[in-house]
Amino acid sequence: MAKPQRYRFCVGPWNFSEGRDPYGPETRPSQSFDWKLSALKELGFDAMMFHDDDAVPDIESKSPAQVQKEAKELKRRLAGEGIAAEMVAPRLWFHPDTVDGGYTSNSPKQRRYAIDRSKQAIDIANVLGTDLLVLWLAREGTYLREAKSGRRSVELLVQALDAMLAHDPKIRLSIEPKPNEPMDHAYLPTIGHALAIAQLTSDAARVGCLIESAHAILAGLDPADEIDFAMAFGKLWSLHLNDQNGLKFDQDKPFGSANLRVAFNQVRALERNGYGKRGEYVGFDVHPFRTTKPEHYLRHLSNSRDTFLRLVEKARSYPEKQAQALIADRNYQDLDQLVLNHLMGT
């Protein structure tokens, strides 16, 4: 029998967050990059995810040569610790030139800024030894419908993706859709949109996606269905597991925290599609609760991984024969209870 899959895990420096929200300041001290790196090692995670300015802090104030130099230094540090860089993502939502969006800004100068910054993020990815550029299109959408043309915005997004594909023949673009926040409506709210726009680019085979559980739930979708859909296209290249309690602000709760059954079904979908067999990592885009004390700084990460691994066991020990018999009998009533009993351990 084939050996069961061993998963590899990653997390980003932003997942050691300090508790700030729109209504109050930090509740925990901020930690240095060194502290985060050693915490990640201590947890036994395998890789780190990077925004461009996580890799090179204050990136906007630095020359291209300086950015390359610092990226090389980071690569050496990561290699020394045996930690891989999973992806790089251009942060296109903080700088004043991204106020009206990056690639879909109404200002040509600001669109140029977004594309140039994305090319630089690709160069950083090359130095860090990853071929994955993640695009969370934070401000590519509208606060009000009349501010932009939706049709033109699709064309501008395709132009931007093409510019990135042309910049590096090996880079793969992984679109991370989210339906809202900070925008009222985003132009690419779901995995279907991400994979559809890939078809309009010059190299569709190099445009895939990243699924975040909370983002799918915010779109009113089941993340397990999003996983099956993306993997039917061979396009799920990265993953941000977390949880979300209904339609409200993006909560980034620990995996399984709000709905264990929805988490179980995501794990089943990953298992049946062989996620990880082509080198993909399981990322947790989770944050500590604001109430979390400094001494419990890492619990949301270790808890998410523990829940994930226990759900892998649950997926592998699922009473498939019994389930199939109930399905054949269209007895979904008892199928429902079979799942609940399995999860409750009876």
What is the binding site for ligand XUL (CB under 6 A)? 51, 89, 136, 176, 178, 212, 240, 250, 285
Nearest alpha-carbon partner for 227 in 239, 219, 242:
239
Whether residue 240 lies in the annotated active site: no
- 28 or 51: CB nearest ligand XUL: 51
| List of residues 6+ apart from 95 with CB closer than 8 A | 60, 113, 117
User: Choosing among ligand XUL, Mn ion, none, which partner's interface includes residue 123 (Cβ < 5 to 8 Å by kind)?
Assistant: none
User: Choosing among Mn ion, ligand XUL, none, which partner's interface includes residue 250 (Cβ < 5 to 8 Å by kind)?
Assistant: ligand XUL
Joined together, the tokens standing for residue 311 give: 């759900």
- Report the nearest approach of Mn ion to the CB of residue 212 (Å): 4
* Binding of residue 226 to Mn ion (CB under 5 A): no
Q: Any idea what the Cα angle at residue 134 is, between residues 131 and 136, rounded to 5°?
A: 170
- 215 or 235: CB nearest ligand XUL: 215
- Report the nearest approach of ligand XUL to the CB of residue 118 (Å): 13
Whether residue 116 lies in the annotated active site: no
- 251 or 292: CB nearest ligand XUL: 251
Residue pair 138/146 in contact by the 8 Å Cβ criterion: no
- 228 or 250: CB nearest ligand XUL: 250
| List of residues 6+ apart from 136 with CB closer than 8 A | 89, 176, 178
Residue pair 87/174 in contact by the 8 Å Cβ criterion: yes
- Report the nearest approach of ligand XUL to the CB of residue 311 (Å): 21
If you write DSSP's letter for every residue of 330-343 in order, what string do you get?
T-HHHHHHHHHHHH
Among 51, 193, 215, 300, the active-site one is 51
User: Choosing among Mn ion, ligand XUL, none, which partner's interface includes residue 178 (Cβ < 5 to 8 Å by kind)?
Assistant: ligand XUL
Q: How many CB atoms lie within 10 A of CB 271?
A: 18
Nearest alpha-carbon partner for 298 in 43, 20, 49:
43
Nearest alpha-carbon partner for 129 in 47, 234, 7, 239:
47
Q: From CA 141, how far away is CA 158, in angstroms rounded?
A: 14
User: Choosing among ligand XUL, Mn ion, none, which partner's interface includes residue 89 (Cβ < 5 to 8 Å by kind)?
Assistant: ligand XUL
Give the burial string for 85-98 (b: 16+ CB within 10 Å, else e). bbbbbbbbbebebb
Among 212, 226, 243, 250, binds Mn ion (CB under 5 A): 212
* Binding of residue 285 to Mn ion (CB under 5 A): yes
Q: With contacts defined by CB under 5 A, how many residues of the chain interact with Mn ion? A: 3
* Binding of residue 97 to Mn ion (CB under 5 A): no
- 15 or 105: CB nearest ligand XUL: 15
Among 46, 52, 53, 54, the active-site one is 54
Considering only 138-146, 191-199, 240-248, 330-338, which stretch makes contact with Mn ion by CB under 5 A?
240-248
- Report the nearest approach of Mn ion to the CB of residue 81 (Å): 23
| Phi, psi of 203, rounded to the nearest 5 degrees | -145, 80
Residue pair 47/319 in contact by the 8 Å Cβ criterion: no
Residue pair 47/83 in contact by the 8 Å Cβ criterion: yes
Considering only 63-71, 93-101, 234-242, 303-311, which stretch makes contact with Mn ion by CB under 5 A?
234-242
Considering only 9-17, 84-92, 125-133, 209-217, which stretch makes contact with Mn ion by CB under 5 A?
209-217
Active site amino acids = 51, 54
